[in-house]
């Protein structure tokens, strides 16, 4: 456990930890954390809301392990993400919100660390695997981010109570050359989660503005659309591509003939054939998922504040000029 201790920090004060029997002790604030079956449980003290949140995700993990919440998850999403991540040989890889380690099992790396809030997921990762298991909260992440070359954040941000806290940690502690890989639902309707059995599920939706607002101190190096939203008939995705008269005629034919049934059967088949047809369908349908690779911005990347401030002062001065009647 000595190597694990060196990777970890206290989630309360971010001080160094030391091993003592079956627990870790913070050398700064003195907080103690248990180690359960080789898994350090590095969770901060919680208020009532955060404790309900933690129990909620333990329940979700137990349910998911019994019967997958998302069927065919690997075929639909994981393969695409693994291709996007690419070669990690010789790299130190951290998976935040790792669940049962499905990505890390497939990746090659000099070290692989899985962090998740839900202990049932971490227990499902074999102890004899090459994956280090740590129970932790992304908002108070108990690991030294500077130790990692690749940081995977897959299907995490939409679940967090305060994602700004997690992004602040990334900004403050990860290295400039660290690759941050984000997999996130895109322009998602949250109404579908109002009737689920869990108190906490997807708590927010992301689009270009909301994502960039959260990660404004990071640079997007690569991005990829994935998993086309095929719930709307393709006929109505053609409006901007066809002359109005032709589009109107097509809509009329759609409702007046069996074209609607034929089109629906095609969409059913396309869904079954994902992800093979994914790239072609994304030409017509919006993505449900975005994959992005980020780097922390350095001082060399920043636009000079003095230039922007001078520009803003000129705009203010122009707005303040009185209107002169002639």
Note the pLDDT tens digit of each residue in 33-86: 999 999 999 999 999 999 999 999 999 999 999 988 776 665 666 888 999 999
Answer yes or no: is pLDDT of 303 > 80.
no
Answer yes or no: is pLDDT of 326 > 50.
no
User: Three-state SS for 145?
Assistant: helix
pTM: 0.87
The torsion region of residue 71 among left (phi > 0), alpha (psi -120 to 50) and beta comes to beta
Answer yes or no: is pLDDT of 293 > 80.
yes
The pLDDT mean for the chain works out to 90
Judge contact between 24 and 18, C-beta under 8 A.
Answer: yes
- Tokens, residue 208: 């270009």
User: Three-state SS for 294?
Assistant: strand
Strand ranges for the chain from DSSP E: 17-20, 23-26, 32-36, 39-42, 92-96, 111-116, 131-136, 150-154, 179-185, 218-228, 287-296
Q: Of all residues in the chain, what percent carry a pLDDT higher than 90? A: 67
Q: What is the pLDDT of residues 137-153, one digit of tens each?
A: 999 999 999 999 999 99
Question: Side by side, which strands form the sheet with 92-96?
Answer: 17-20, 23-26, 32-36, 39-42, 131-136, 111-116, 92-96, 150-154, 179-185, 287-296, 218-228
Band the pLDDT of 316: cuts 50, 70, 90.
confident
Of 11, 46, 24, 29, the C-alpha closest to 140 is 11
| DSSP class of 232 | S
Answer yes or no: is pLDDT of 302 > 70.
no
Band the pLDDT of 134: cuts 50, 70, 90.
very high
Q: Of all residues in the chain, what percent carry a pLDDT higher than 70? A: 91
Question: What pLDDT is attached to residue 319?
Answer: 63
The torsion region of residue 87 among left (phi > 0), alpha (psi -120 to 50) and beta comes to beta
| Strands 39-42, 131-136: pairing kind | parallel
| DSSP class of 25 | E
Angstrom distance (rounded) from CA 92 to CA 175: 12
Lowest mean pLDDT among 41-50, 185-194, 211-220, 231-240: 231-240
Angstrom distance (rounded) from CA 145 to CA 134: 14
Kind and range of the H or E run holding 250: helix 244-256
- The alpha carbon dihedral of 117, 78, 7, 215 has a sign of negative
Answer yes or no: is pLDDT of 305 > 70.
no
Q: What is the pLDDT of residues 80-129, one digit of tens each?
A: 899 999 999 999 999 999 999 988 999 999 999 999 999 999 999 998 78
Q: What is the pLDDT of residues 225-238, one digit of tens each?
A: 998 888 888 889 88
- Domains present along the chain, CATH in parentheses: 1-42 (2.20.25), 44-229+288-296 (3.40.50.150), 234-281 (no CATH)
Angstrom distance (rounded) from CA 296 to CA 239: 39
Question: What pLDDT is attached to residue 122?
Answer: 96
Q: What is the pLDDT of residues 238-282, one digit of tens each?
A: 888 899 999 999 999 999 999 999 988 988 888 777 777 888 888
Q: How many CA atoms lie within 13 A of 56 on its CB side?
A: 16
């Amino acid at each position: 456990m000595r190597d694990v201790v060196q990777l970890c920090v206290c989630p309360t004060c971010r001080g160094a930890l030391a091993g003592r029997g079956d627990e870790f002790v913070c050398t700064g604030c003195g907080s103690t954390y248990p180690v359960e079956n080789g898994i350090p449980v590095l969770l901060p003290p919680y208020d009532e809301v955060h404790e309900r949140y933690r129990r909620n995700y333990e329940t979700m993990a137990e349910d998911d392990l019994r019967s997958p919440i998302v069927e065919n998850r690997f075929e639909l999403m994981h393969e695409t993400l693994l291709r996007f991540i690419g070669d990690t040989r010789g790299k130190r890889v951290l998976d935040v919100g790792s669940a049962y380690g499905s990505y890390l099992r497939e990746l090659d790396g000099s070290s692989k660390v899985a962090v998740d809030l839900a202990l049932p997921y971490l227990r499902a990762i074999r102890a004899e695997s090459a994956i280090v298991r740590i129970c932790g909260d992304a908002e108070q992440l108990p690991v030294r981010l500077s130790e990692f070359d690749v940081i995977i954040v897959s299907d995490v941000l939409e679940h967090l109570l305060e994602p700004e806290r997690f992004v602040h940690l990334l900004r403050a502690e990860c290295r400039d050359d660290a690759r941050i890989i984000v997999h996130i639902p895109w322009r998602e309707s949250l109404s579908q989660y109002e009737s689920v059995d869990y108190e906490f599920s997807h708590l927010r939706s992301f689009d270009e503005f909301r994502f960039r607002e959260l990660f404004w101190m990071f640079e997007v190096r690569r991005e990829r659309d994935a998993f086309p939203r095929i719930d709307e008939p393709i006929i109505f995705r053609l409006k901007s591509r066809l002359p109005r008269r032709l589009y109107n005629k097509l809509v009329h034919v759609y409702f007046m003939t069996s074209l609607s049934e034929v089109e629906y059967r095609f969409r059913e088949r396309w869904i079954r054939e994902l992800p093979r047809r994914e790239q072609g369908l994304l030409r017509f349908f919006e993505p449900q998922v975005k994959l992005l690779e980020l780097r922390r911005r350095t001082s060399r990347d920043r636009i000079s504040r003095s230039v922007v401030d001078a520009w803003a002062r000129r705009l203010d001065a122009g707005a303040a000029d009185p209107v002169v009647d002639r």
